[in-house]
Structure 1
Amino acid sequence: MELGISTFVETTPDVQTGETISHAERLREVVEEIVLAEEVGLDVYGVGEHHRHDYAASSPAVVLAAAASLTSKIRLTSAVMILSSADPVRVFQDFATLDGISNGRAEIMIGRGSFTESFPLFGYDLKDYEELFNEKLELLLAIQKSEKVTWSGKHRAAINNLGIYPRPVQDPLPIWIGSAGSPESAIRTGALGLPFVLAIIGNVQPLDYAKHVQLYKKAAAEAGYDLSSLPIASHSHGFIAETNELALEKFFPSTHARTNVRAKEKGTPPYHRSDYDAACSFDGALYVGDPETVANKIIHLRKHVGITRFFLHMPHGTMPHEDVMQAIRLLGTEVAPRVREEVARWEASNR
């Protein structure tokens, strides 16, 4: 059972002061967070791609490379790369470069993207949303499998027996597919035999995602893949503090502000404290609380959904850097040991 952090490197106005951290300062903070995550024994750190004024990480591979030379064990992944509006050749080259710098610790997590600012930025039409992803995934997988590639498609110039360099340390370089929970995505990912990541966010019940995992496993088995070799991850917003009350109160202001910004953009109902409290309950999608509470929720998810990796996504909006660092310490030193011990015990009893 692996545990880690994911972040979107947000630069939203501080709820208390109204001040907005610069992109440069927030990027440097993230590098510090990755170094600390390794120090406290976490397994993985993910950085998501965005192209907006309120996010600083338009190039996850560069951010992760900055931390690669300062770490030696922690795995470094995108979370996610918006493959539909990216060049698969460049994505592979960037992460193969990261893999070399980190000596084999890079991963690529790709998705369609719930934010669409990158499409007009890079000259793509949203009407081609699905077609772009499928075509570019085909090319990315071809590059993963072979040093020299011959490929043609509709949305990118053809490649005729050309080499793609550098080659990664890992063979193959891991490619995960992230999904917000569509059954079709689960089936497609399983049929390809790729690692699967579920974004368990919003007004959802985490255990409902068990059916997506079953669809994924069924499709993978039917395609002839060994299920024991296919990891499944989840990504959920959350926060850890010394007590439940402290965690709930610290995480609410930025979560409330950030969620309502997105609600206004999407034309959905406003987010209230009652929504937050419900999501922080044991059956809810927010993993907020003291170490014991958060550990128990992760263990519950492992036993009933079947994940083998858990990403705690934080912060949600801008929070004090020292609070985020303390939450990372608690995840690594108190939550992770509880989870690993109980999952190992439970798995041994079910063999």
Structure 2
Amino acid sequence: MEIGISTFVETTPDVQTGEVVSHAQRIREVVEEIVLADKVGLDVFGVGEHHREDFAASSPAVVLAAAASQTAKIRLTSAVTVLSSADPVRVFQDFATLDGISNGRAEIMAGRGSFIESFPLFGYDLRDYDELFDEKLELLLELQKSEKVTWSGRHRPAINNLGVYPRPVQDPLPIWIGSGGNTQSVIRAGLLGLPLVLAIIGGRPVQFAPLVELYKKAAEQAGHDVSKLSVASHSHGFLAEDTQMAADKFFPSTQQVMNKLGKERGWGHYDRTSFDTARSFEGALYVGDADTVAEKIIYLRKNVGVTRFMLHVPVGSMPHEDVMKAIELLGTEVAPKVREEISKWEAEQ
């Protein structure tokens, strides 16, 4: 059972003061967070790609590379790379470079992305949303398999027996599929035999169990060894010394972000009742003290089947020292409890 962190490198206004940290400062803070995550024994750190004012990381590979030479064991992944609006060749080169710097710890998490700013920015038509992803994933997987590639498609110039460099340390360079729970994307990941990441940020996490089974069934039908496939979850959360403190610290910035996105997407108002319901044992928020969060992760592993859990923190800007404390607690207190319990449980299966 792997446990880690994901972040979108948020730069939203401070709820109390209205102040906004600079993109540069927030990026430097995230590098410190990655270094700490490695120090306290977490397994993976993911940085999401966005192209808007309230998120500072348009280039996850560069941010991760800044931390790569300061870390020793932690795996470094995008969360996600918006593959539909990217050049797969450049994506592969960037993460192969990161793989070299980190000596074999890079991963790509490929997804469509839930934000659309990158499409007009890089000259893509949203009407091609699905076709772009399918075609570019095909090319990315060709790059993963072979040093020299011959490929042609509709949305990118053809490649005729050309080499792509540098080559990664890992062979193959891990490529995960990120999904918000879309049935088609889950089946695709299974058919391709690729590891799957589910964004479980609402509702009841146990409702994702059928999707995991669908993924495994598709993989099995395609002839892949299901026992070797990994399933990860990405969920919002926060840790503090006690559960009430964690909830009170995490709610204001979470509410601010959820209501801002709600206006953009037509969601209902997000209030404290919604928040408290989501942080209940059956809910999708992993907020509380170490015991509370550990119990929820263990329940998720046993009932949904995830083999990697990524805590997304913060949601909206929070004091850097609070985020660092949450990472410390996840690594030093939560992760050991989860690993011990899951090890015992698996031995009994």
TM above 0.5, yes or no, is yes
Question: 2:217 aligns to what?
Answer: 218
Shift of residue 345, structure 1, vs aligned partner: 0.3
1:206 is aligned to 2:205: yes
Question: CA offset at residue 185 of structure 1?
Answer: 1.1
| Whole-angstrom distance in 2 between the partners of 1:77 and 1:293 | 27
Deviations 1:255-300 (A, max 9, x none): 0001000001112211111100100000000000000000000000
1:25-174 correspondence runs (5 A):
25-174=25-174
Distance 1:192 1:130 in 2: 17
Aligned to 1:345: 344
The yes-or-no answer on 1:320 pairing with 2:298 is no
> Aligned equivalents of 1:151 and 1:263: distance in 2?
41
Measure, in 1, the Cα distance between the counterparts of 2:291 and 2:244.
13
Task: State the 4+ residue runs in structure 1 displaced beyond 3 angstroms.
Answer: none
Matching residue's letter, 1:141? L
Is the partner of 1:310 in helix, strand or coil?
A: strand
Distance in 2 of aligned mates of 1:268 and 1:311: 25
Quote the Cα distance in structure 2 between the aligned partners of 1:349 and 1:73. 29
Separation in structure 2 between the aligned mates of residue 63 and residue 150 of structure 1, nearest angstrom: 31
1:169-184 alignment, distance < 5 Å: 169-184=169-184
> In structure 1, how many angstroms separate the alpha carbons of the residues matched to 2:266 and 2:307?
35
- In structure 1, stretches of 5+ residues that fail to align are none
Shift of 1:39: 0.5
SS in 2 for 1:55: coil
How far apart, CA to CA, are the structure 2 residues paired with 1:217 and 1:44?
Answer: 23
Greater CA drift, 261-270 or 336-345: 261-270
SS at match of 2:295: helix
1:61 to partner: Cα distance: 0.1
In 2, distance between residues paired with 1:274 and 1:186? 31
1:129-149 deviation digits (Å, cap 9, x = unpaired): 000000000000000000000
- What's the CA shift for 1:228? 1.3
Q: Residue deviations 1:158-206, cap 9 Å, x none?
A: 000000000000000000000000111111110000000000013x110
1:329 aligns with 328
- Correspondence list, 1:186-205, <5 A: 186-202=186-202, 204-205=203-204
The alpha-carbon deviation at position 101 of structure 1 amounts to 0.4
CA RMSD of aligned residues (A): 0.4
How far does residue 321 in structure 1 lie from its aligned partner after superposition?
0.3
Identity across matched positions, percent: 74
C-alpha distance after superposition, 1:26-72 (max 9, x if no partner): 00000000000011000000000000000000000000000001011
* TM superposition shift of 1:3: 0.2
Partners of 2:296 and 2:45 in 1: CA distance: 20
Superposition deviation, residue 86 in structure 1 = 0.1
Unaligned runs of 5+ residues in structure 2 are: none
State the TM-score, normalizing by the size of structure 2. Answer: 1.00
CA distance in 2, matches of 1:314, 1:63: 16
Secondary structure class of the residue paired with 1:52? coil
Partner of 2:274: 275
Secondary structure, counterpart of 2:177 in structure 1: strand
1:10 corresponds in structure 2 to 10
Distance between the aligned counterparts of 2:267 and 2:276, measured in 1?
Answer: 19
Rounded to whole Å, the distance in 1 between the matches of 2:271 and 2:240 is 22
Deviations 1:196-236 (A, max 9, x none): 0000013x110000000000000000111111111110000
How far apart in 2 are the matches of 1:254 and 1:37?
Answer: 22
Provide the rounded CA distance (Å) in 1 between the counterparts of 2:86 and 2:136.
Answer: 8
Corresponding pairs, count: 349
What do the CA deviations read for 1:227-259 (whole angstroms, capped 9, x no partner)? 111111000000000101000100000000010
DSSP-derived class of the 1:177 partner:
strand
